[in-house]
Amino acid sequence: MFKKVLVANRGEIAARVIRTCRRLGIQTVAIYSEADADSLHVKWANEAYLIGKPHVSESYLNIDKIIDVAKATKAEAIHPGYGLLSENPTFAHRCEEEGIVFIGPNADVIAKMGSKIESRKTMSEAGVPIVPGISFPLQNVEEAASTAATIGYPIMLKASCGGGGIGMQIVHNEEELHKVFEGNQKRATSFFGDGAMYLEKYIQNPRHIEVQLLADHYGNYVYLWERECSIQRRHQKVIEEAPSLFLDEQTRKRMGETAIQAAQYIGYTNAGTIEFLVDEQKNFYFLEMNTRLQVEHPVTEEITGLDLVEEQLRIAAGEKLGYSQDHIQRRGHAIEVRIYAEDPKTFFPSPGTISALQLPEGERIRNETAVQSGMVVTPFYDPMIAKLIVKGENRNEAINRMLQALGSYQIEGIKTNIPMLKEVLAHPEFQAGHTTTDFVNRHLSSVSIKK
């Protein structure tokens, strides 16, 4: 096992990784920007180094500085967390060149799965079902309109290198396509440095269900069941749960086996997630692969009893998986909500100083955060400031426990999405398991949808 690991991330995921490293007796190195000097991940690490100014391009995305810190501190490995450089093949390749273990798959796999167009091609070759659409970049809006007419509206316009719902939009007719194509293309270029766009047939009333994978360097693969991630705003997840109430055991098994088939085809190693869209008839289609740890990984940990960060570390250190598929059991039901510093009606960010913070406590309640009272939530980063996870013997118990926990969650000085989360969890349609990706738009009257 590693003696020292650098955590190339910030906030709650950096704190999460550091916590597991501490339990395993691994020394940790944190990096931070000027805006994050008071973050808990900085305090929890054995060593912490200022990496640059608040903007990510001058700090958390500065590959040269991060590598310099890793070498200076003699860190044997780098854990990238999620977001930022976690799916950057250049960063993974640099780590390989410098003799530093990148805790994740190799750079070639990251590159192949990082382009949604290329990943569609690859998964089709692997025999994995994909959403009807195209697997080449659109040259202009005229080509997009011609292609959409062939596929049939509604369609989903997407950025090939997108994420977090950026550059993605449902389009219902050609007139609407002409209005939104250029804007989405510009946003994709601005956020990802690549404006390549493609389109797929829009699946009506879909569910977003993903399968968690682990793979070692000796050809062993397991799936750790699924997560239902259909409650979204602006195509970004806000509530996740495991297992999915919608799936029957046969479909669940087929999805898990298909996910392993996909991972084996590309020679995947470490933790990864295959995301699927599932229609009303339980047909499932490949959506994308995340070649990293997911924000929602705690719900999988809660139902399996595994620590996914520990598993990542062990795989990266060259250890074999200590179990086979038959040993992966699931127990109970877990729900995670993402706490955002944002207006719950408009979803606009709400930076400011947290004047008071009291986290809920109790049996089967888990908090993931790196903020505390007196800290400033800046406008420089994603507005997610915490995650709250609960577990119950069944889904109803988990929902009730989450509502109670959210009721005792006290945070002052900034606005958060907690009122919106309560409304979703208390809604009869959510409690009945009718969770499709348009749930928020369809059922929450208190939300002002802003595009």
Instruction: Tell the residue number behind the tokens 């650098």, with chain if given.
Output: 6
Written as six digits, the tokens of 89 are 């093949």
Q: Are strands 333-340 and 236-242 parallel, antiparallel or unpaired?
A: antiparallel
Out of 10, 16, 292, 338, the active site residue is: 292
CA distance 435 to 230: 6
234: region left, alpha or beta (phi > 0 left; psi from -120 to 50 alpha):
left
Return the bridge partners of 13, or none.
none
Residue 377 C-beta-side C-alpha neighbours within 13 Å: 30
CA distance 314 to 445: 47
CA distance 34 to 51: 8
Q: Would you call the peptide bond into 349 cis, given omega within 30 degrees of 0 as the criterion?
A: no
Phi, psi for residue 149 in degrees, rounded to 5 = -65, -35
Does 292 qualify as catalytic in the annotation? yes
In our burial notation (b when 16+ CB lie closer than 10 A, e otherwise), range 377-399 reads bbebbbbbbbbbbbbbeebeebb
CA distance 316 to 318: 5
CA distance 226 to 111: 25
State the burial class of residue 118 (Cβ atoms within 10 Å of its Cβ: 0-12, 13-18, 19+): middle
Contact 228, 336 (CB under 8 A): no
Phi, psi for residue 275 in degrees, rounded to 5 = -100, 135
Helices (H), 38-115: 40-44, 63-72, 89-97, 107-114
- Which of the residues are catalytic? 292
